[in-house]
């Protein structure tokens, strides 16, 4: 797969775009799921994100940047869902994801002890693969703050999970 | 090997079994997509960088510039009435005429505000803030022998900063508080503080004689005001407020010439009646009245692109802001350059087709404007006799920072980065006369690169552009009608600040870069501080004399020239520098003051003082200053305590200002 996948997607080749997306779909869904806490919202966020990403593919200069770029869009779509009126939020009925392990609920619980901001930092770093400096820019925080919050949050989660 | 917290948590996420459900399968997704993506601009040739510098800057400008509007496309400017002695500026015959004009150019931003897309493309996560356009860049002032002055652009024109020194004290602004430290070497300690208020957040400040002048922005009476507050600091243990002044709008920048403060703000008029005001009301004092600037002191550029006013005031500090004068112009500002006679304010402006693309594009997204043709509007304001708007003019492209502008023998030189008809980045240098009419230019140099640093020394312009290597261009501007590139030299990495050392030597400070290639994609990492010296004795054949690289370090000076400490008495330089490493024990931080001089073109390191105080993982070293024989380091630490309460960890913490020092070696 070369960088021309992006050129093809830009020219309107939906299959090319879908293939790019396929490499990241699990990570994207995982990010949205742990950020939003339920599967229906996570699915909505990923759908919104994919449509926006496709429309805006012209802004993407290199396939190397695809991951950081699409997670940025997803992060924003998740924020949009979180800002919806509360009565529209859905309870997690657990019907969409078939967990093979006990880890998902444990991770959800571990994330719930963190502040919203710490949770964002952990998800952006661990699931989306952002560097702390990039997170600092994205969340408009001091780089040193992000680093210290991250190491503390990870320690807290680990302690909780062990 | 012991697993880190990161590895352990990541493994759990990877194995959590949370994967995209069938509804998000790529085949189903392909069916959900709209017919076509938004139109792309022609791709740049040989483009290797992940994010184009100027594109990012353009996106930033869209979000911040108050001048974006579509209405300018449709409205007919009112009948021109040129101001006597000025070019391309208009005055108003009555207040009604003024409000009528504001109504016509009402900003489209109203329609677009609250658009979540506003913020997402506003930042650039791939580069190390190198492109940040709003910072106040500055040329060295003489400074007194006992302590330094802020590194500024024009002699005799002071620039506000987060740190200032006197012979006995160091003032450091952090988190809305100015900390006053005694300059007692290792015994330096905080002796007093001056605090902003909840309503007024402090941006930067000046110290002039026994007066401290803070500049900040206040949100009150449902408006935004730029406030200057004057304090008497003759006795630092009993600092008292002696005056204040405020003007409508968001703080853009300021300068101080002698005892006179010049404040520049951007006031966005939400309605035609929301005209700019000034007054003595500041949020630290009991309310006082604000007065509208009379229409006779309000002007307009030839074709305003939005209902934004640039408000300029001169405030006399000797009288504690009792004597002031303000004027406004329908136009906007992003960067200011000021010498002792003239103040120049530049603003980005996008071509009509950019606005219409934006208008037509999906829900006002910004991606179509990436790479669109941009212009820089320049407004010239004479300061020799009050505040006089002199002229306004446009040049192609965008200005990198204030150092891209310089006036010499009455002529303004401006270096810009723009795009050619095929959307390739190109660079230009223009020479304009007293009324900003173009005398000559060099255009189209360094294709596919953008300007990172500019320095003018008399009749010569030194320009650093960058794509993957960093050429230094030497441009002879002695004949204003025919500026000409004399020579160039290439080097890896790029400088963001050029400092003249002597007639033949130029010092460059900036980024060390490394290329990373993965498959077909390549990107650059900025992973260190680079210091370089150039021999410019032969303009047609500039040479690199010496290079020092500090891998994995970063420095505030890479994006803010004010972080450069120059000791004119010793003839040396000091910069704050830090690096962080992730180790099995967590983050390890090393912060140091790098003291060096340039000797016969060689970079000679005198001392690398590693600060214990600023070497814990949460510290952040911001500035180095000097008083007497000591270098002082100013920065912050993060202090946090967290405890387990009701099954939840609660973190409490804050950044605290601190000081460290070392004697000069």
| Chain A, nearest residue to B654 by Cα | A145
Q: Within an 8 Å CB–CB cutoff, is residue A41 touching chain B?
A: no
Q: Which of A4, A6, A15, A18 to mutate to test the interface with B (most CBs of B within 10 A)?
A: A18
What SS3 class is residue B652?
strand
Sequence-distant (6+) residues with CB within 8 A of B35 are A12
Measure A89 CA to nearest chain B CA, in Å: 19
A4-13, A144-153, B291-300: segment of lowest average pLDDT: A4-13
Write out the two tokens for B188. 């330096």
Bridge partners of B524?
Answer: B515
Dihedral angle sign, alpha carbons of residues A80, A81, A82, A83? positive
| Mutant choice from B2, B6, B18 vs A, greatest count of A C-beta within 10 A | B18
Q: From the CA of B24, how many Å to the nearest CA of chain A?
A: 7
Chain B neighbors of A34, CB-CB under 8 A: 13, 18
Q: Do B617 and A151 touch (CB under 8 A)?
A: yes
Angle at A44 between CA A42 and CA A45, to 5 degrees: 65
Cα B392 to chain centroid, rounded: 22
Residue A18 to chain B, least CA–CA distance (Å):
5
Count CB-CB contacts under 10 A for residue B152. 23
For residue B32, which residues of chain A lie inside 8 Å, CB to CB?
A: 47, 50-51
B83, B90 in Cβ contact below 8 A? yes
pLDDT digits (tens, 9 = 90+) for A16-53: 888 889 988 999 999 999 999 888 889 999 998 998 88
CA pseudo-torsion sign B11, B12, B15, B20? negative
Compare CB distances from A21 to B10, B26, B647 and report the shortest one's residue.
B26
> Residue B320 — φ and ψ, nearest 5°?
55, 50
What pLDDT is stored for residue A51 in this prediction? 87
Asked whether B227 and B218 are in contact (CB, 8 A), the reply is yes
Q: What is the pLDDT at residue B114? A: 32
Is B37 in contact with A57 (Cβ distance < 8 A)? yes
pLDDT in tens, A87-137: 544 455 454 455 556 788 889 889 988 988 899 999 999 998 888 877 877
Q: Is B18's CB within 8 Å of A9's CB? A: no
Count how many pairs of residues, chain A against chain B, have C-beta atoms within 8 Å: 209
Mutate: best of A55, A76, A102, A123, partner B, most B CBs <10 A:
A55
**B79 contact partners, CB below 8 Å, separation of at least 6:** none
Across residues A75-79, what is the average pLDDT?
85
- Alpha-carbon gap, residue B560 to B562, rounded angstroms: 5
Q: How far is B384 from chain A (nearest CA, A)?
A: 40
The two structure tokens encoding residue B585: 């024990």
Comparing C-alpha atoms, which of A124, A125, A109 is closest to residue A78? A124
CB within 8 Å of B61: residues ≥ 6 apart: B133, B334, B348, B374, B398
* Conformation bin of residue B409: beta by default, left when phi > 0, alpha when psi is -120 to 50: left
Across B562-663, the runs of DSSP E, i.e. the strands, are 565-567, 572-583, 586-599, 602-610, 620-627, 630-645, 648-663
SS3 B560: coil
Are A100 and B365 a contacting pair at CB < 8 A?
A: no
Partner residue facing A97 (CB), from B21, B617, B619: B21
Q: Nearest CA of chain A to the CA of B156: how many Å?
A: 33
Write the DSSP string, B274-298. Answer: ---EEES--TTS----EEEPPGGGE
* Cross-chain residue pair B13–A30, CB shorter than 8 Å: yes
CB B655 within 8 A of CB B616: no
Residues contacting residue B665 through CB under 8 Å, at least 6 positions apart:
B595, B606, B607
Q: Which chain B residues contact residue A54 at CB under 8 A?
A: 33-34, 37
Domains of chain A: 1-91 (1.10.1740.10), 101-162 (1.10.10.10)
Q: Are B448 and B47 in contact (CB under 8 A)?
A: yes
Give the closest of A134, A140, A154 to B5, CB-based: A154
A18 touches chain B (CB under 8 A): yes
Q: How far is B112 from chain A (nearest CA, A)?
A: 16
Q: How far is B542 from chain A (nearest CA, A)?
A: 34
Return the H-helix or E-strand segment holding B45: none
Q: Which of B36, B580, B648 is opposite residue A113, by nearest beta carbon? A: B648
**Contact A61/B52, CB-based, under 8 Å?**
yes
Q: Could you tell me the end-to-end alpha-carbon distance of chain A, in angstroms, rounded to an integer?
A: 40
**CB within 8 Å: A148 and B368:** no
Phi, psi of B202 (to 5 degrees): -80, 135
Cβ of residue A22 closer than 8 Å to a chain B Cβ: yes
> CB distance B41–A147 less than 8 Å?
no
Partner B contacted by A84 (CB < 8 A): no
Phi, psi angle pair for A39, to nearest 5°? -75, -35
Q: Cα distance from B326 to chain A (closest Cα, Å)?
A: 34
DSSP count for chain B of H helices, then E strands? 7, 39
Torsion-angle region of B569 (φ positive above 0: left; ψ -120 to 50: alpha; else: beta): alpha
Query: With an 8 Å Cβ cutoff, are A17 and B13 in contact?
Result: no
* Shortest CA distance from B129: residue in chain A: A137
Residue A107 sits at φ, ψ, to 5 deg, of -65, -40
Residue A105, chain B, CB below 8 Å: the answer is no
Q: How many other C-beta atoms lie within 10 A of the C-beta of residue B167?
A: 11
Q: Of B394, B401, B415, B413, which is closest to residue B349 (Cα–Cα)?
A: B394
Nearest to A107 among B13, B370, B651 (CB): B13
Which residues lie closer than 8 Å to B70 by C-beta, 6 or more apart? B108, B355, B356, B358, B359
Would you call A109 an interface residue with chain B, using a CB distance cutoff of 8 Å?
Answer: no
Taking CB atoms and an 8 Å cutoff, what residues of chain A touch B6? 125-126, 154
Say if the Cβ atoms of B33 and A157 lie within 8 Å.
no
Q: Which residues contact B603 (CB under 8 A, 6 or more apart)?
A: B531, B533, B546, B547, B548, B596
Which of B40, B587, B619 lies nearest to residue A58, judging by beta carbons? Answer: B40
Verify whether the Cβ–Cβ distance A97 to B41 is below 8 Å. Answer: no
To the nearest 5 percent, what fractions of chain B are helix, strand and coil?
15, 50, 40
Rounded to the nearest 10 degrees, how much is the dihedral formed by the CA atoms of B105, B111, B113, B114? 170
The interface residues of chain A toward chain B in range 114-133, judged by CB-CB distance below 8 A, are 114-115, 118, 122, 125-127, 130, 133
pLDDT mean values, one per 10 residues, chain B (665 residues): 76 87 86 68 34 30 29 32 58 91 64 31 25 28 66 93 95 92 95 83 92 89 85 94 92 94 90 88 68 94 83 95 92 91 88 48 39 78 93 90 94 92 87 93 91 92 84 92 92 89 92 73 76 94 95 91 92 93 76 96 96 83 94 85 51 76 95
């Amino acid at each position: 797969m070369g960088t021309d996948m992006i050129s093809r997607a830009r020219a309107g080749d939906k299959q090319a775009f879908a293939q790019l997306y396929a490499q990241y779909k699990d990570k994207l869904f995982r990010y949205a799921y742990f950020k939003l806490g339920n599967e229906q919202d996570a699915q909505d966020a990923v759908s919104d994100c994919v449509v926006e990403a496709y429309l805006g593919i012209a802004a993407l200069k290199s396939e190397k940047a695809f991951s950081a770029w699409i997670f940025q869009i997803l992060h924003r779509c998740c924020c949009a869902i979180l800002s919806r009126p509360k009565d529209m939020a859905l309870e997690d009925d657990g019907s969409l994801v078939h967990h093979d392990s006990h880890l998902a609920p444990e991770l959800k619980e571990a994330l719930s002890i963190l502040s919203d901001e710490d949770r964002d930092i952990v998800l952006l770093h661990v699931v989306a693969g952002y560097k702390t400096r990039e997170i600092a820019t994205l969340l408009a925080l001091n780089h040193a703050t992000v680093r210290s919050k991250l190491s503390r949050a990870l320690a807290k989660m680990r302690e909780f999970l062990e | 090997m012991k697993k880190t917290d990161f590895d352990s948590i990541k493994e759990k996420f990877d194995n959590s079994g949370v994967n995209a459900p069938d509804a998000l399968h790529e085949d189903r997704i392909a069916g959900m997509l709209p017919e076509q993506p938004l139109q792309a601009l022609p791709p740049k040739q040989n483009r290797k960088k992940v994010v184009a510098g100027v594109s990012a800057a353009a996106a930033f400008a869209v979000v911040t510039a108050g001048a974006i509007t579509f209405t300018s496309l449709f409205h007919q400017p009112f009948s021109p009435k040129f101001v006597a002695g000025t070019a391309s500026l208009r005055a108003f015959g009555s207040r009604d005429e003024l409000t009528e004009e504001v109504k016509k150019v009402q900003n489209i931003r109203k329609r677009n505000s609250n658009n979540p897309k506003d913020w997402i493309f506003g930042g650039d996560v791939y580069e190390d803030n190198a492109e940040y356009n709003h910072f106040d860049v500055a040329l060295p002032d003489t400074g007194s022998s006992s302590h330094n002055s802020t590194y500024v652009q024009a002699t005799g024109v002071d620039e506000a900063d987060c740190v200032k020194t006197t012979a006995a004290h160091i003032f450091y602004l952090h988190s809305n508080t100015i900390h006053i430290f005694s300059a007692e070497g290792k015994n330096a300690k905080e002796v007093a503080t001056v605090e902003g208020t909840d309503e007024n957040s402090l941006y930067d400040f000046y110290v002039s004689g026994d007066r401290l002048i803070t500049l900040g922005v206040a949100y009150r009476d449902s408006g935004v005001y730029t406030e200057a507050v004057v304090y008497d600091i003759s006795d630092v243990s009993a600092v008292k407020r002696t005056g204040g002044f405020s003007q409508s709008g968001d703080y853009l920048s300021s300068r101080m010439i002698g005892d006179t403060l010049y404040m520049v703000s951007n006031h966005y008029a939400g309605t035609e009646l929301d005209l700019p005001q000034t007054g003595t009301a500041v949020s630290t004092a009991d309310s006082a009245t604000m007065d509208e600037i009379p229409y006779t002191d309000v002007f307009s550029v030839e074709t305003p692109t939005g209902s934004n006013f640039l408000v300029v005031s001169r405030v006399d500090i000797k009288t504690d802001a009792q004597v002031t004068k303000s004027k406004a112009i329908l136009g906007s500002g992003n960067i200011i350059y000021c010498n002792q006679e003239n103040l120049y304010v530049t603003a980005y402006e996008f071509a009509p087709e950019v606005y219409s693309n934006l208008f037509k594009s999906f829900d006002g997204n910004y991606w179509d404007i990436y790479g669109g043709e941009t212009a820089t509007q320049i407004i010239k304001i004479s300061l020799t006799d009050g505040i006089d708007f002199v002229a306004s003019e446009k040049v192609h492209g965008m200005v990198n920072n204030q150092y891209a502008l310089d006036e010499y023998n009455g002529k303004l030189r401006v270096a810009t980065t723009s795009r050619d008809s095929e959307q390739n980045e190109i660079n230009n240098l223009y020479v304009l006369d007293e009324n900003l009419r173009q005398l000559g230019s060099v255009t189209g140099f360094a294709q596919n690169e953008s300007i990172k640093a500019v320095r003018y020394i008399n009749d010569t312009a030194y320009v650093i552009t960058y794509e993957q290597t960093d050429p230094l261009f030497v441009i002879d501007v002695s004949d204003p009608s025919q500026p000409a590139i004399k020579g160039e030299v290439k080097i890896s990495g790029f400088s963001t600040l050029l400092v003249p050392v002597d007639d033949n030597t130029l010092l460059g400070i900036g980024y060390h870069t490394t290329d990373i290639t993965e498959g077909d994609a390549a990107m650059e990492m900025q992973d260190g501080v680079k210091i370089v010296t150039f021999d410019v004795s032969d303009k047609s054949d500039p040479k690199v004399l010496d290079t020092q690289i500090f891998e994995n370090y970063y420095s505030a000076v890479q994006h803010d020239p004010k972080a450069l400490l120059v000791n004119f008495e010793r003839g040396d330089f000091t910069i704050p520098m830090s690096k962080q490493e992730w180790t099995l024990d967590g983050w390890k931080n090393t912060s140091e003051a790098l003291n060096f001089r340039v000797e016969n073109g060689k970079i000679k390191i005198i001392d690398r003082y590693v600060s214990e105080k600023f070497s814990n993982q949460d510290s952040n070293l911001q500035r180095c200053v000097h008083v007497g024989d000591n270098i002082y380091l100013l920065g912050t630490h993060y202090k946090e305590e967290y405890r387990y309460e009701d099954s939840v960890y609660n973190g409490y913490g804050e950044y605290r200002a601190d000081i460290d020092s070392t004697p000069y070696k």
